[in-house]
């Protein structure tokens, strides 16, 4: 790469930084470096900027995921690179396979969560203003397409933002307008050593399949597909910001908070544009103690249509997770239901055939049990799923409400732990806890807290011949 091209690349990052106010002179920035060409080139760009354009203090952060044999060499090379550039280096050897077993998360989710947790730890240690990530234009195109296929709204189509606050630091992405090929070319022509992660070529991961199959296929019909998707993301991002600001302004004007309940007057709500009605309900739900994945379009639209129906002036709509939306004449309110605290239940499952769904009517949830052969087995992707060696489970299974003093032997931990303390450690809101059932084996041992943790009872091993796969979910909202 000619000097001009390298200068152009550096200037592109500087332009993005100025446009989006990504840093100010003297900022301390954690730069995430995986060892791939994107992040290696990005570290060199940031180093160039810090030495010759804007005084910045950089910290190179690397996560050894424990998946691949090359990871040891990658960590060593990144450490050496940071030393050569005179940059502080922090790294962690994260045992992601063990973390997956403890949390019930899939490999990509577990690796991402552990990686971001470490980056925040490094930022806290150094008092950094931001965490810089090497996401580029191709990553952005993949993200937009992934969200499009999932049926996302505007926020999803906005893709990744140049700057987004998370916890106490800014996540910044200065390379979002730069293509991956440019970053790879920079490494090759400048002689920067980098590594290729072969897991990026595995189509079993959805994002990889989109990059390797979907985008090339669609590219036959639009040779500028990646720039088009990036342009869409930038346009939608600005419009999404405008709508979000309008929703916050409307919230301040219409919504009152009294005793933990959020209320507004129905006539004022009915005057709003439908887009703003949905945004306002979403904002209210986000202020309630709900899981982030719980706030989806279906739930928002169910509530909106209920409020729009003026024929009935008093009602209560169970919206899940111990919460309800109620109407008393013209007053709409959101808050914790008053009838969930003392609900107790117990279901015994001695035997069943095929896939069986147990309806937990008391908490509007269900547990689905599915027999599975080892050939079809896949590691649970979240704590909402759990797999057990069926031959080592003592029957009958019991699904019940939580009892005082309940304890569980958590997978990956020594000894037993009180369920109450598990909830506290996992930051499960008190209002959510009554909707978490307890699954026990025939000996009374708690084997699973759906959505939270599983025990060390009957883990799936290489010798397992029969698997019981369980999932938990919310029952459909009754309108």
* 478 band by pLDDT with thresholds 50, 70 and 90: very low
Does the pLDDT at position 201 exceed 90? no
DSSP 303-339: HHHHHH--S--EEEEEEETTEEEEEETTEEEEEE-SS
Does the pLDDT at position 259 exceed 60? yes
pTM assigned to the model: 0.65
The pLDDT tens digits of the residues spanning 441-463 come to 999 999 999 999 999 999 999 99
Does the pLDDT at position 54 exceed 90? yes
Does the pLDDT at position 353 exceed 80? yes
Does the pLDDT at position 295 exceed 90? no
Which sign, positive or negative, has the C-alpha torsion 381, 382, 384, 390?
positive
What percentage of residues in the chain have a pLDDT greater than 90?
A: 69
Domains and CATH numbers, the chain: 3-233 (3.40.50.620), 255-336 (3.30.465.60), 346-474 (3.50.40.10)
What percentage of residues in the chain have a pLDDT greater than 70?
A: 95
pLDDT for position 2:
42
* Section 184-189 average pLDDT: 94
3-state class percentages of the chain: helix first, strand second, coil last, to nearest 5: 45, 20, 35
Spatial separation of the C-alpha atoms in residues 358 and 42, rounded to whole Å:
51
User: Is the Cβ–Cβ distance between 60 and 33 less than 8 Å?
Assistant: yes
Does the pLDDT at position 133 exceed 60? yes
Does the pLDDT at position 66 exceed 80? no
User: Which position has the higher pLDDT, 2 or 196?
Assistant: 196
CB-CB neighbours of 99 under 10 Å: 19
Going by the annotation, the residues of the binding site for ATP are: 34-39
Smallest CA-to-CA distance from 397 within 444, 450, 338 is with 444
Going by the annotation, the residues of the binding site are: 34-39
142 CB contacts (<8 Å, ≥6 apart)?
A: 207, 210, 211, 215
């Amino acid at each position: 790469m000619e000097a001009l091209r390298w200068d152009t690349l550096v200037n592109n990052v500087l332009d993005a930084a100025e446009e989006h106010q990504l840093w100010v002179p003297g900022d301390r920035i954690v730069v995430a470096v995986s060892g791939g060409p994107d992040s290696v080139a990005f570290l060199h760009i940031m180093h160039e900027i810090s030495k010759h354009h804007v005084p910045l203090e950089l910290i190179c952060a690397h996560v050894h995921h424990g998946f691949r044999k090359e990871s040891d060499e990658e960590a060593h090379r990144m450490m050496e690179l940071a030393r050569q550039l005179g940059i502080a280096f922090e790294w962690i050897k994260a045992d992601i396979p063990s973390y997956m077993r403890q949390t019930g998360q899939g490999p990509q989710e577990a690796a991402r969560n552990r990686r971001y947790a470490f980056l925040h730890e490094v930022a806290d240690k150094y008092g950094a203003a931001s965490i810089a990530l090497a996401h580029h234009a191709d990553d952005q195109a993949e993200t937009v397409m992934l969200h499009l296929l999932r049926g996302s709204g505007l926020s999803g189509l906005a893709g990744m933002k140049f700057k987004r606050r998370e916890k106490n630091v800014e996540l910044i992405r200065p390379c979002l307008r730069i293509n991956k090929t440019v970053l790879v070319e920079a490494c090759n022509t400048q002689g920067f050593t980098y590594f290729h992660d072969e897991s990026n070529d595995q189509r079993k991961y959805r994002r990889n399949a989109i990059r390797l199959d979907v985008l090339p296929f669609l590219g036959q019909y639009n040779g500028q597909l990646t720039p088009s998707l990036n342009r869409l993301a930038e346009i939608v991002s600005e419009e999404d910001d405008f709508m979000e600001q309008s929703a916050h302004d409307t919230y301040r004007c219409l919504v009152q908070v009294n005793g933990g309940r959020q209320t507004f007057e129905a006539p004022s709500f009915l005057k709003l544009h439908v887009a703003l009605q949905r945004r306002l309900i979403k904002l209210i739900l986000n202020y309630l103690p709900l899981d982030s994945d719980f706030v989806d379009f279906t739930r928002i639209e169910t509530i909106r249509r209920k409020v729009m129906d003026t024929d009935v002036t008093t009602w209560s709509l169970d919206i899940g997770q111990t919460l309800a939306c109620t109407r008393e004449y013209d007053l709409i309110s959101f808050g914790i239901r008053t009838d969930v605290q003392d609900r107790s239940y117990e279901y015994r499952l001695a035997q069943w055939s095929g896939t069986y769904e147990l309806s937990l009517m008391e908490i509007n949830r269900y547990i689905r049990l599915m027999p599975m052969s080892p050939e079809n087995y896949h590691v649970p992707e979240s704590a909402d799923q759990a797999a057990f060696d069926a031959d080592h489970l003592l029957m009958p299974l019991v699904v019940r409400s939580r009892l005082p003093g309940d304890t569980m032997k958590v997978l990956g931990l020594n000894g037993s732990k009180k369920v109450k303390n598990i909830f506290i450690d996992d930051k499960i809101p008190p209002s959510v806890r009554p909707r978490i059932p307890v699954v026990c084996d025939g000996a009374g041992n708690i084997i699973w807290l759906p959505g939270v943790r599983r025990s060390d009872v009957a883990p799936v091993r290489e010798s397992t011949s029969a698997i019981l796969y369980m999932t938990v979910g919310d029952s459909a909202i009754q309108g």
